[in-house]
Every structure is written in structure tokens, then in C-alpha cells.
């Protein structure tokens, strides 16, 4: 291999070395992703870390345009690698966002340089890139911020939510989020705030079920000194604290009718009066409410006001329970693992097939919150880099396996036949079959076990 010419600025390789063989030991030993391109911007080498970060195999990437693999905004505007080739200037630690094979957006930093032949002619370029996901998770953990990438969903109802979420977030419309306990209502509320124009202002949560009526009223609206016996000083309420930002009314279904009347004025007129104050205060807040109760039933019973319901439900989201969106579990596990790795200072990178199948088979009465607890439990017990079945909580490990469902219905029969035919066509390669079927590999495993296919 040729010497490196002006190492601080250029990378020099011979033309013969442009095409690295499958397991080039030097490139594959590097923790950062590395790939090279030729003069037509087609990928000529792709190391193991690049495979891990992007989700594409070396065989899939080589020969493709780099823009087809990375799908980054910078590819459409001004390719940093092409600019390096044309000008000879390096790019160092340039932050960009790419889309991996699973369609998820990933923050990375890239560095680029020119590749020269032994004769000194530019013959392509080399780019190294580093996954910044853990760093971003740490920043979000510190800042308490949430973005669109935090909401995971392949379930049709989740996809509907994700499709309109940016537009809803950028409006000031009042939002009502309904769904079972632990399904992610708080996360969705934080996300709506985190990507809105109010994101730099406070996000104030009030758990309406945690306080009795009198305390909830003073907590929401605040009070003046002397308003009641123990009011020794003025105290601003949560509405005032949320000024300019978002007021999140969690468990709104537990609010008394008396407080509902006053909340209606806040939601409808953006006005309120602190206890002991005769002056009307204006509230520049965006209101998001959530509940796990059936508000339609509460309205029929007369314990929830219809006018408040309709004012809250300008935009309504209904989150499904986790056992109805099992295909989301693998992605949720990845996201939860990443977050807890940052929080706990760990480096657990994956989960075994048996452990994942246990997670997929569970009914989750506690929904996403229960899944988070299971992963945290596993991280406490796991001493290596892979979560095994033995690390999961006893309730999951001791759960009875679901019986095999014989494909008696036309739908089940067609699905089982399609899976069987795809597996045969792929020579039994489950990963390839899952990709062809458009399924996550763990979803395929679950369906195979369900139909007794292996």
C-alpha cells in the first residue's frame, strides 16, 4: 500500500486498494464507520462499524451511490465528501442526520478527505462517521427535552399520530391524549412541547389525580397572601409558572366538577383568577390534557362536563395498549436500552433472541412503563453486553408460552404459507426472510413460533 501523502490533510491509497475485500482487518477494527467512494460517488468499501450504524451490509452498500445509503439532507444540498474531492479541503466533525435502513433518523458527525492514487491524482474520497445517538440521549436527559424521534410506532394508529404530530405541535391547539396507564401519554405531551415554538418556555405537568380538590385549585391558580388561613405569602400557580409554555393536565378525568368549571375558562378564554384576587389574569399557555379514563362514560354519568371535553378535544390522540402494537417492541427496546445505558453508564448493546421473544409474548398490563421496568431490571443483572432471558424479571421468565395457533382461518393460513415460502426461497435465512416480508426479525420469529414453523 502506498504511503500517506500529507497525512494531516489527505488520505493516499493506490487504485488497487480502493476495493477492500470482505473482512479488511484494519477498517473493521475501527469503532467509527468508514467508507470510500470512487469518482462517480459509488461506495467502494464499507467497514463493520458502518454496517452496525446504518443497518446496511457491506454487500448491500458497495456499488451504490453514497446518497442512496445515507439519505442525509446534506446529500441533497451539498455533499461534504464531494466538496472535499473537488476542493481538496477536509471536513472535520460536521454534524448531520442520516436515515438508517429501518427508517430511523440518526445524528452523526462526519469527517471527509480526498483519496489519491500513487501518481497523486484524486480518485475518490473517504468518510469517517460517528454515531452521536448516545450523546444526544445524554443531552436530552440533562435538558429534559423530547423530540419526534422519541415517539416509536409502526401500529397504524401510532403512524397516524406521527404523521400529523409536527403540524399539531406547531399550532397552539388544545390536545387531549387518551390511552391506558403507562402507554406513553406523558411522552407524547412532552414531544408536542419539545418540537413546538414554545419549546424554550416551561413544560409544567400537573397530576390532577394526586391532589384533593382544594389543593389542586390553589396549585393550579395560585393564591394571594391571606386568601386562607395558611396563606402567609403570595404563591403563583402552575398556570402562571407555565406562562409562554405548555400546561400538561395529566389525569384530567379525576378533576371535580367545581374545578372543571374554572379550567373551562382557562382553556376557552385563557383567563383565570388566583385565590383571593379579584383581578383577571391572562394565561399565555398551550394546554395538553391526558387521561386513562373513559370520558364518554364519565359524561354520561354526569361527572365530566361536555363543554370542557369538547374544548379539550380540539385535537384528540388515542394511544393503543402495548399488547396491540407488539411490532413496536423491538424498536422500543432499542430506544429504552440506549436511554438507560446513558443514565446508568452501561454499554449493553443487544438482547438475545430468547429474551426478545419473552418480551414479545408478554401481555403488558402496565404497557410501555412495564417494558421500561423490565429492561431496567435486566440492566441491573446483566454484567456483559447482551441481555439474556435469565436477566428478565421473573414474571416474564415464568410466563406460560403462548400455544401454537394452527392456521385455521384463511388469513392465518395465507400468512403461514407466505412465511414458509419466503423462508424456503431465502434458504432458511431468517434475517433475509424478515427483510423480504418487511418485518422486524423478532416479529418474524414470533410469527414462526405462533404457527409452529420452527
303 and 188 co-located in one domain:
yes
pLDDT digits (tens, 9 = 90+) for 335-355: 888 888 878 888 888 888 889
Query: How many other C-beta atoms lie within 10 A of the C-beta of residue 450?
Result: 19
Beta carbons within 8 Å of 8's beta carbon, 6+ residues apart: none
Structural domain includes residue 209:
yes
Of 320, 351, 381, the last residue of a domain is 320
When the pLDDT of each residue in the chain is averaged and rounded to a whole number, the result is 82
CATH code where residue 381 lies: 1.10.8.60
How large is the average pLDDT for residues 281-285? Answer: 94
pLDDT digits (tens, 9 = 90+) for 5-16: 333 333 444 344
146 and 240 co-located in one domain:
yes
Q: Which of 3-7, 15-19, 104-108, 365-369 has the lowest mean pLDDT?
A: 3-7
91 and 221 co-located in one domain:
no
Q: What sign results for the dihedral spanned by CA atoms 176, 177, 180, 186?
A: negative
Of 102, 130, 158, the last residue of a domain is 130
Print the domain residue range for 100: 11-130
Structural domain includes residue 405:
no
Higher-confidence residue of 127 and 71: namely 127
pLDDT at 290 over 90: yes
| Cα separations in angstroms, 324 against 89, 358, 403 | 52, 16, 18
Q: Which three cell numbers stand for residue 202?
A: 416551561
pLDDT digits (tens, 9 = 90+) for 51-92: 888 888 888 888 888 888 887 766 666 788 888 888 888 888
Structural domain includes residue 1:
no
- CB crowding 230-258: b at 16 or more within 10 Å, else e: eeeeebebbbbebbebbbbbbbbbbbeee
283 and 341 co-located in one domain:
no
Beta carbons within 8 Å of 133's beta carbon, 6+ residues apart: 106, 107, 338
Total domains in the chain come to 4
**Which of 60-64, 370-374, 402-406 is predicted most confidently?**
370-374
366 and 280 co-located in one domain:
no
159 and 292 co-located in one domain:
yes
- Residue 233, pLDDT score: 82
Beta carbons within 8 Å of 45's beta carbon, 6+ residues apart: 18, 19, 20, 24, 27, 34, 35, 36, 62
Structural domain includes residue 135:
no
- Residue 9, pLDDT score: 37
Structural domain includes residue 72:
yes
17 and 97 co-located in one domain:
yes
pLDDT at 18 over 80: no
Cell 446513558 identifies what position?
342
How large is the average pLDDT for residues 89-100? Answer: 82
DSSP label at residue 41:
S
Structural domain includes residue 136:
no
Q: How confident is the model at residue 406 (pLDDT cuts 50, 70, 90)?
A: low
Higher-confidence residue of 52 and 220: namely 220
Nearest by Cα to 336 from 369, 312, 380: 369
DSSP 3-state of 246: strand
List strand residue ranges (DSSP E) for 161-311, in order.
175-178, 203-207, 222-223, 235-236, 246-250, 271-272, 281-282, 286-291
Structural domain includes residue 403:
no
Of 110, 130, 150, the last residue of a domain is 130
CA distance 386 to 392: 12
Query: How many other C-beta atoms lie within 10 A of the C-beta of residue 130?
Result: 17
Contact 319, 179 (CB under 8 A): yes
- Residue 148, pLDDT score: 56
161 and 283 co-located in one domain:
yes
- Residue 397, pLDDT score: 82
Q: How confident is the model at residue 413 (pLDDT cuts 50, 70, 90)?
A: confident
209 and 61 co-located in one domain:
no
Q: How confident is the model at residue 21 (pLDDT cuts 50, 70, 90)?
A: very low
CA distance 37 to 81: 9
Q: How confident is the model at residue 226 (pLDDT cuts 50, 70, 90)?
A: low
Beta bridge partners of 8: none
HSE at residue 84, side-chain half, CA atoms within 13 A, is 27
- CB < 8 Å & 24+ apart, contacts of 92-97: 95/132, 96/72, 97/72, 97/73
pLDDT at 242 over 50: yes
How large is the average pLDDT for residues 242-260? Answer: 95
67 and 162 co-located in one domain:
no
Query: How many other C-beta atoms lie within 10 A of the C-beta of residue 89?
Result: 14
CATH code where residue 280 lies: 3.40.50.300
293 and 206 co-located in one domain:
yes
CA dihedral angle for residue 294, residue 299, residue 305, residue 311, rounded to 10 degrees: 60
CATH code where residue 421 lies: 1.10.10.60
How large is the average pLDDT for residues 85-114? Answer: 82
pLDDT at 454 over 80: no
How large is the average pLDDT for residues 234-244? Answer: 92
CATH code where residue 54 lies: 3.30.450.20
173 and 198 co-located in one domain:
yes
Structural domain includes residue 404:
no
Amino acid at each position: 500500500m502506498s504511503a500517506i501523502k500529507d497525512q494531516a490533510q489527505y488520505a493516499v491509497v493506490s487504485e488497487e486498494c480502493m476495493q477492500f475485500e470482505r473482512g479488511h482487518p484494519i477498517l473493521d477494527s475501527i469503532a467509527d464507520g468508514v467508507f470510500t467512494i470512487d469518482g462517480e460517488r459509488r461506495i467502494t468499501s464499507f467497514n463493520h462499524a458502518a454496517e452496525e450504524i446504518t443497518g446496511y451490509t457491506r454487500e448491500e452498500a458497495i456499488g451504490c451511490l453514497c446518497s442512496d445509503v445515507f439519505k442525509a439532507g446534506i446529500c441533497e444540498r451539498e455533499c461534504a465528501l464531494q466538496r472535499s474531492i473537488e476542493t481538496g479541503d477536509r471536513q472535520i466533525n460536521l454534524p448531520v442526520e442520516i436515515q438508517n435502513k429501518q427508517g430511523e433518523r440518526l445524528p452523526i458527525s462526519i469527517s471527509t478527505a480526498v483519496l489519491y492514487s500513487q501518481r497523486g491524482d484524486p480518485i475518490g474520497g473517504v468518510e469517517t462517521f460517528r454515531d452521536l445517538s448516545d450523546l444526544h440521549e445524554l443531552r436530552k436527559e440533562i435538558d429534559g427535552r423530547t423530540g419526534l424521534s422519541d415517539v416509536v410506532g409502526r401500529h397504524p394508529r401510532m403512524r397516524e399520530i406521527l404523521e400529523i404530530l409536527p403540524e399539531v405541535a406547531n399550532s397552539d391547539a388544545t390536545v387531549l391524549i387518551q390511552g391506558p396507564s403507562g402507554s406513553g401519554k406523558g411522552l407524547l405531551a412532552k414531544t408536542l412541547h419539545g418540537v413546538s415554538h414554545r419549546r424554550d418556555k416551561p413544560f409544567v405537568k400537573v397530576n390532577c389525580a394526586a391532589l384533593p380538590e382544594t389543593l389542586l385549585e390553589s396549585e393550579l391558580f395560585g393564591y394571594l397572601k391571606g386568601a386562607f388561613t395558611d396563606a402567609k405569602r403570595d404563591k403563583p400557580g402552575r398556570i402562571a409558572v407555565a406562562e409562554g409554555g405548555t400546561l400538561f393536565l395529566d389525569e384530567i378525568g379525576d378533576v371535580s366538577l367545581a374545578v372543571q368549571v374554572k379550567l373551562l375558562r382557562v382553556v376557552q378564554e385563557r383567563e383565570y383568577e388566583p385565590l383571593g384576587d379579584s383581578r383577571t389574569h391572562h394565561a399565555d399557555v398551550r394546554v395538553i390534557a391526558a387521561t386513562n379514563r373513559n370520558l364518554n362514560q364519565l359524561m354520561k354519568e354526569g361527572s365530566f362536563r361536555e363543554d370542557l371535553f369538547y374544548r379539550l378535544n380540539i385535537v384528540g390522540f388515542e394511544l393503543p395498549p402495548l399488547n396491540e402494537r407488539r411490532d413496536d417492541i423491538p424498536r422500543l427496546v432499542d430506544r429504552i436500552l440506549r436511554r438507560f445505558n446513558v443514565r446508568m453508564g452501561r454499554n449493553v448493546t443487544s438482547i438475545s433472541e430468547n429474551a426478545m421473544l419473552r418480551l414479545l409474548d408478554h401481555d403488558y398490563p402496565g404497557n410501555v412503563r412495564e417494558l421500561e421496568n423490565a429492561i431496567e431490571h435486566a440492566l441491573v443483572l446483566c454484567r456483559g453486553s447482551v441481555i439474556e432471558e435469565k436477566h428478565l424479571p421473573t414474571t416474564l421468565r415464568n410466563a406460560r408460552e403462548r400455544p401454537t395457533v394452527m392456521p385455521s382461518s384463511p388469513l392465518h393460513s395465507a400468512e403461514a404459507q407466505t412465511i414458509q415460502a419466503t423462508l424456503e426461497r431465502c434458504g432458511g435465512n431468517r434475517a433475509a426472510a424478515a427483510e423480504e416480508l418487511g418485518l422486524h426479525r423478532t416479529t418474524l420469529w414470533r410469527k414462526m413460533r405462533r404457527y409452529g414453523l420452527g
